[in-house]
Structure 1
């Protein structure tokens, strides 16, 4: 039996390795515990909230012209004057002019979502060009700026004041104007 240096040395070597493994393991466990505590501390102070997503769907607006703005038949005079058609269709013929025939305000029907408010408007003026030359301008008047749609929609009218020149060139005059309708 004698001395076995290898086995004692191996024993000391293994003991040092085991000691280093144990110390390293303790440090790793301590680090993991600190990290877990820090994570749990943050989670303990976290807050949550909820929200609701909503949407409102409106029917697409349709806008239909059901009658045009007609200033009637006008016999011009030696001086410039005006012809006005109210949004109700009533005509006012200026001095020096003679107005005959049918007058109407333009009428537009609006369809969309019942109960919704619609903003209406459009061009402020229109230029009328004559078939034999010549032009006239008209300012436009809208019966409403907003309408609330009922079960069958709604409508608005457009009247205007036509500027007729002195001895205005004869002919059939026409011009187009745009109107709009948008949900408020």
Structure 2
């Protein structure tokens, strides 16, 4: 009986044989997104006729300004007083989606002029695709040629007794494929 048991362990009855399958691997290389600032945002020349605080909203759809108080601040007519929304061009893989993120907090713009109140804030950034006003963090699709343009507006906050002068500052826009 011991011999029969031993023979059973020696004889390997393997009813399976190896099966081979071939898998595939793939990759698609796409061009990186790029963005160009074509035109700087400008609130234009502003006539300050009061010591009270005011705001100026620059619309991204048409670059028109809305004043919180016409008695405190107003625009100056003339061709050298152009208010313009920031204009940006995105380039990447045609027909792919990308997301635009605008600043979610205020940025500061400053002047080197002499005075005590030399900083203003800019906030409430909005953007426009094809003259349609939209919120930040919006997904858009690149066109067939891989190019898309959008404009950015914001609100300028002029403080009480603001120092007169030229103000400048910068803000960041982030784009990513979706």
Q: Which runs of 5+ in 1 are unaligned?
A: 1-25
TM-score by length of 2: 0.76
Higher helix share: 1
Q: Which runs of 5+ in 2 are unaligned?
A: 129-133
Taking the aligned partners of 1:79 and 1:49, their CA distance within structure 2 comes to: 78
Taking the aligned partners of 1:136 and 1:79, their CA distance within structure 2 comes to: 14
CA offsets 1:6-49 (integer angstroms, 9 cap, x no match): xxxxxxxxxxxxxxxxxxxx99x9478513x1xx23x25x7766
CA offsets 1:100-129 (integer angstroms, 9 cap, x no match): 211000011000011001101132332101
RMSD (Å) for aligned C-alpha atoms: 2.5
Matched, 1:104 2:76: no
For residue 170 of structure 1, the aligned residue among 141, 152, 164 is 164
Who wins on radius of gyration, i.e. which is larger? 1
Aligned to 1:120: 100
Stretch deviating more after TM superposition (105-114 or 88-97): 88-97
Taking the aligned partners of 2:99 and 2:75, their CA distance within structure 1 comes to: 33
Which 4+ stretches in 1 moved above 3 angstroms?
29-33, 46-52
> Does the residue aligned with 1:66 lie in a helix, a strand or coil?
strand
For residue 90 of structure 1, the aligned residue among 46, 64, 69 is 64
Q: Number of matched residues? A: 153
Aligned to 1:141: 126
Taking the aligned partners of 2:59 and 2:102, their CA distance within structure 1 comes to: 17
Matched, 1:71 2:43: yes
TM-score by length of 1: 0.73
